[in-house]
Structure 1
Amino acid sequence: MSNNHSQIIVIMVPFPAQGHLNQLLHLSRLISAFNIPVHYVGTTIHNRQARTRLQGWDPKSISNIHFHEFHPPCFASPPPKPNSPLSHLQPCFDSTKHLRTPFATLLNNFSSVAKRVVVIHDSLMSSVVQGVASIQNAEAYVFHSVSAFTVFLHLWEEMGRPFPINVDMLKDVPSLEGCFTEEFKKFISDEYKCINFSSGRIFNTCRFIESPFLDLAGRQEISKNMKQWALGPFNPVVQSRNKCQNRHKCLEWLDKQAPNSVIFVSFGTTTSLSEDQIHELAIGLDKSNQKFIWVLRDADKGDIFTDDQEPMFKRHVDMLPKGYEENIQEKGLIVRDWAPQLEILGHSSTAGFMSHCGWNSCMESITMGVPILAWPMHSDQPRNTVLLTKFLKIGIVVKNWGMRNELVSAETVEKAIQKLMNSEEGSEIRERAAKVGDDVRKSGNSCLELDSFVAHVSR
C-alpha cells in the first residue's frame, strides 16, 4: 500500500475550541505514522493554540504533518459569563464561515496533484468543507468530537426514534434542555444539515468502551449506509516519566505525593464558575481531607493569547475564603495557568478526576485508568456523565443535570470525594476504572480499526 500512500493527502479541519483542536491534532499523528502526509487547517490563532497546548508528542518531530493558517476577519472576544456557557465564543464560531473560500482553494490545489484527497472535518465545520462534493478525487469523513453514545441518541431522536431501544438505556438520560444557547443550537443544526456529502463517520472512542452504541449508530436507519470507524483513543496511551527541566510545577508537586492520593479538579476550557460556586468548591476540597490539584481558570476566549492573566488571578484570589491558599499548602495546589492534563492524569499519584465530562477529558481519563467525579456543565457533558457513571460504572455523579441551576454545596463536594476515596463502592469504581484503562491501553489505538480506515482511503 506504500505506493498508494504517496498519492494520498489527508486534510484535517478542526473546530476552533480546545477539545476539538486537540483531538484532530492527535489523530493527525496516528495517520501520519502510515507515511501519509497530513495537512492541519485552521486560523493562525487556533493552530498556534493547538500546538502550544499539545501533550505527549512534538509535532515538529513529525515531518509529514503540515499546518496551513488562514486569516479570517477579526471577531469580538467578550469575557466569559459563568451562567451562559459558550455564548462568549459564538462570534469566534460564526467566523469559521470565512474559511470556506480559502479551504476550497487549498482543496483544489491538492486535488490537482494527488490521487485522492481525504478530508477529515469536525462535524461543526461541515459547511466549510462543502467544496469536497464538487471535486472528483476528494472525499470527506465527518469527525464527531463527542461519544458514540451521545451521537447515537442525538441522531435517533432527530430521526423520530426510527426503531425501539432498550428502555433501560433511556432511563436517567437527560434531555438536551439547558445544554446549549439558542445561537449555538442553530449553529449545530445548520452544520449537521451539511453532512450529507460525507463518506463516513469517525469517532474518538473504541469498541471496548462503546461497542453497543457504535452498533446502534451503525444501523441502516441511522447511518444510511455511511461507514463508521472508532479510531480512538487518539491521545498517546503511555505518558513519559522523564524528569525534564521544563516540567510543569504541578508535576513536581505530584512527584512528592503518595500513589493514588490526589484528586485532580478541572472543568475544561469553556466554563467559568461563579464566585459563590468557587467559594463552595474551595471549602469542600479543604474539608475532604484529600490531596488535590485544582485548575482555577476562566473559560478560554476566542483568542487565548489576548487573555490578561493578572485581573483574572486577582479576581479568583478574592473569591476564595480568606487565607485559603496559605491554609491548604500542605494539602493542595491551585494552578491558574494552562495545566498539562494528560500528564496529570497519567501520573501515579492521581486517584480521581473531578471533571465537566467533556469527551476529550473523558477519553484521557479513561485511557489513564482514572475514575471521574462527574460535574457536567453544558453541551454533551450531561449525557457523557450517564455513559461514565451508569454504563461504564467508572464515575460518581457530583451534580445531577436536573439540578443544574442550583449551587453545588461544599458538603456535596466533600461527600463525593469521600465516597470515591473511602468507601467500598468507591474502591470498586477505582478498580474498575483502572482495569478499563489497562484494557484500553493494551488494545492500543484501535489498531484494527485504524488499519481498516487507512486501507479504505488507500484503496
Structure 2
Amino acid sequence: MVPCPGHGHLIPFVEFAKRFLLLHNNNNGVFFHVTLLVPTHGPPSPSAIAILNALPPNMDFIFLPSVTMDNIPNPPTHPIPRMKLILQLSLPSLRQSLTSLSSKTTLVALVSHFFSIDALPLAKEFNIFSCVLYTAGATSLSFSLSFPMLDKEKINHDHQESLDLPKTVNVSGCPVSFQVKDLPDLVHFPRSSEIYKSYLDACRSLTLVDILILNSFNHLEGEAIQAIQRGKTSSGLTGPSVYSIGPIIQTESSNEANKLDCVTWLDNQPPKSVVYICFGSGGTISHEQVNEIAHGLELSGHRFLWVIRPPSKISGSAYLVTKKEDPLEYLPSGFLDRTKGQGLVVPSWAPQIEILAHGSTGAFLSHCGWSSAMESIIHGVPIIAWPLFAEQKMNAVLFTDVLRVALRAQQSDAENGGNIVVTREQVAEVVKRILESDEGLEVRKRTRELSDAASLAVTQNGSSNMGLSSLAQKWLESIA
C-alpha cells in the first residue's frame, strides 16, 4: 500500500488494512500480509510514527528514502502537486522495495492513494492488481471519473485558460445539482497550473486501474455507488471494478496528547451539550476567522471544545508544513478567562474519536473532510458544515441537502481580501440552531439513523463486509 504524505491520508490506509486482515487473515491456508510503503520529504511526523509503530503483527511499513527538491526549479507549494511530486521522486526506491518484497513473498496487489496514483504503473511491471483506495466518498469519485470529459467538452483550448462551466453541474448518482463554487477547488485553478494538471491527470488515471476501493456504504451513497458500478458516470467509461467497504474509521486515537484533559472535561458536562470544533489534520483558517469563531462561541452561551491551530491564509497549509507558534496566542484578548467555565481550548491536536464517542458531545463543527464526517456519522453526532478546500464543499452539500445530517452557517456576501468571513453572529446562530431548534433535532435524528445503518454495513452479512469478502476473493483467485 502506498499512501501519500500526511498522517491524515495514512489513517484510512491503516484502518482499511486492519479491517481486511481481521476478516481475511486465513483463507484456505493463505495468509495476507500488508506492507505500507510510505513516501517521505523530510523526517516523518511524530503522529505518523505513532500510527505505524502500533501496527498489528501482520502489517509492517517501510519509510521510503526522503526525497529532495533541491534540483527542482520552482517546486510546487500547493499540497496536491507537492504530494504528487514527492511520490514521483520516490518511484525508484518504491520499485526497489517492491523488488525486494517480491523475492520473499507473493505479491497480489498494489494499493495507492488517489494522489499516489503515479505508483500504479509499477503494478503492471510486477503483474499484480493496480488498486486505488479512494478515501473520499462515492459522490466525489463520480465527479472525479467524469471530470476529464467535462474538461474536454467545456474548454476552448485556443482561447480559454479556465474551466467554463454552467451555473450548476450534475453528478451521476447524486439527486441534487452542485453550484460551480461547490466543486472541488482544484478545478478552479488555471488549466495551465500544476494544481489543475495534477488533479486532471489523477482523474484520467482512475479509469486505467483494475480496482477502486471506496470508503462509503450503500445506505449512505447507494445511488452514486450504483452509478459508478454500472459505469454510467458522465464520462461514459466502464472503468475498474468498484468495492464499497466503508465506513473505515479509527476505533481509538493514535496519539495520547490532550486525551486525559479532553475526556475528563467532557465527563463533567451535560449530555449532548458540547460543540466540538476541529478543521482536520490539514485545515487552517485566517486570524480574522479565528476571532469571529471565538466571539461567536462566547456569544452563543453553549459549551465548546475547540482544537485550534495557528492561522493561515491558505486553508490546507497544515498538511505538509508544521508551524511552531503557540496557537493560543491568536485568540482574542481575555477570551480564555471569560470562557473558562464554558469551554476548553486545546492547541493543535485532540483525541477526536474519544470526543465524538462521548455522550456530552452534541455537535461537530467540521471542515467536512470525509474521514471526519464518517467518524461523526458513526457516532451519531450532527455536523455544522464548514468546508475549506479539496472536495469538502461537495461533501457539505451532500451532508446538508441530501443526507440531512448537517446544518450550515448563513453566510453574508461580505468579503475581506477575497475570503468570505463568517461573522460571530452567524457562528452563534448556527450553534443555537443545531443544539436548540426543532431543525437541529431532525438533523440529530437523521444522523442516528445513518449511524445505525453504518453499523449494519460492517456486520457479517452487511453490504460493506460482503464487498470486502469479494475483494479478498478476487485477490485470492490471482494466486490460485
TM-score bracket relative to the smaller structure: 0.7 to 0.9
Map 1:221-370 onto structure 2 (within 5 A): 221-222=232-233, 224-236=238-250, 247-298=259-310, 299-300=317-318, 302=320, 304=322, 307-308=323-324, 311-313=325-327, 316-317=328-329, 319-370=330-381
Q: Which residue of 2 is the match for residue 419 of structure 1?
A: 433
Distance 1:20 1:271 in 2: 13
Distance 1:430 1:173 in 2: 29
Q: Which residue of 2 is the match for residue 68 of structure 1?
A: 62
Which of 26, 31, 37 is the aligned partner of 2:15? Answer: 26
Contact 1:357–1:381 at 8 Å: present in 2 too?
yes
Matched, 1:169 2:176: yes
Kindly tell me: are residues 320 and 250 of structure 1, through their superposed partners in 2, closer, same or farther at Cα, counting changes over 3 Å? same
User: Which residue identity lines up with residue 429 of structure 1 in the other structure?
Assistant: V
User: Which residue identity lines up with residue 263 of structure 2 in the other structure?
Assistant: L
Q: CA deviation at 1:270?
A: 2.2
User: Which residue identity lines up with residue 65 of structure 1 in the other structure?
Assistant: M
Q: Tell me, what secondary structure is at the counterpart of 1:257?
A: coil
Matched, 1:217 2:228: yes
Q: CA deviation at 1:245?
A: 11
Contact 1:342–1:364 at 8 Å: present in 2 too?
yes
Matched, 1:153 2:153: no
Contact 1:59–1:65 at 8 Å: present in 2 too?
no
Q: CA deviation at 1:103?
A: 1.1
Q: Tell me, what secondary structure is at the counterpart of 2:176?
A: helix
- The C-alpha deviation readout for 1:241-265, integer Å capped at 9, x for no partner, is xxx9984311111111111111000
Which of 466, 470, 479 is the aligned partner of 1:452? Answer: 470
Distance 1:451 1:172 in 2: 38
Structure 1 residues without counterparts, runs of 5 or longer? 1-11, 77-84
Contact 1:280–1:409 at 8 Å: present in 2 too?
yes
- The C-alpha deviation readout for 1:76-100, integer Å capped at 9, x for no partner, is 9xxxxxxxx9736754552221211
Distance 1:153 1:395 in 2: 21
Q: CA deviation at 1:208?
A: 1.6
- The C-alpha deviation readout for 1:151-203, integer Å capped at 9, x for no partner, is 11232343249999589521557453745654322222233344454211011
Which of 46, 49, 58 is the aligned partner of 2:47? Answer: 49
Distance 2:378 2:444 in 1: 13
Contact 1:86–1:270 at 8 Å: present in 2 too?
no
Contact 1:72–1:98 at 8 Å: present in 2 too?
no
Matched, 1:204 2:195: no
Distance 1:114 1:325 in 2: 56
Matched, 1:436 2:450: yes
Structure 2 residues without counterparts, runs of 5 or longer? 26-31, 71-75, 154-169, 311-316
Q: CA deviation at 1:217?
A: 1.5
Distance 2:39 2:321 in 1: 10
Contact 1:73–1:95 at 8 Å: present in 2 too?
yes
Percent of matched pairs sharing the same residue: 26
Kindly tell me: are residues 47 and 221 of structure 1, through their superposed partners in 2, closer, same or farther at Cα, counting changes over 3 Å? farther
Q: Which moved more, 1:108-117 or 1:431-440?
A: 108-117
Distance 2:227 2:174 in 1: 14
Map 1:117-132 onto structure 2 (within 5 A): 117-132=108-123
Q: CA deviation at 1:75?
A: 5.1
- The C-alpha deviation readout for 1:277-332, integer Å capped at 9, x for no partner, is 1111100011111110111113525264xx42xx333xx42x32221101101000
Contact 2:405–2:444 at 8 Å: present in 1 too?
yes
Q: Tell me, what secondary structure is at the counterpart of 1:142?
A: strand
Distance 1:328 1:455 in 2: 55
Contact 1:229–1:449 at 8 Å: present in 2 too?
yes
Distance 1:410 1:246 in 2: 27
- The C-alpha deviation readout for 1:124-154, integer Å capped at 9, x for no partner, is 1111232111222x11111212111111123
Q: Which residue of 2 is the match for residue 5 of structure 1?
A: none
Kindly tell me: are residues 266 and 165 of structure 1, through their superposed partners in 2, closer, same or farther at Cα, counting changes over 3 Å? closer
